[in-house]
Amino acid sequence: MPRATLTERTLDDPAYIPIWSRITPMGRPATVDDITNAALFLIAPASRHITGQSLVVDGGWTSVSPPPI
């Protein structure tokens, strides 16, 4: 489940990178390659015994984000 990710749409907003870089524990928003690499891991032989999981690709955002209202 990707979160803040740099895409053509988000790059149109000049505030997007500075804001998400400041509030994401990894210090930057995800790239399309970050999301692709996570998907490739799930189809790789190394992950053959992983079932029924949600893989959150968010640079640590869920560990520090406020709880939903």
3-state secondary structure 11-63: HCCCCHHHHHHHHCCCCCCECHHHHHHHHHHHHCHHHCCCCCCCCCECCCHHH
Does 37 fall in a domain?
Answer: yes
Does 56 fall in a domain?
Answer: no
Mean of pLDDT over the chain: 90
Does 21 fall in a domain?
Answer: yes
What is the domain range of residue 7? Answer: 1-45
Does 4 fall in a domain?
Answer: yes
Q: Across residues 25-37, what is the average pLDDT? A: 95
Total structural domains within the chain: 1
Residue whose structure tokens are 């990710």: 5
Residue 11 tokens read as 């790059």
Per-residue model confidence as pLDDT tens digits over 11-28? 899 999 999 999 999 999
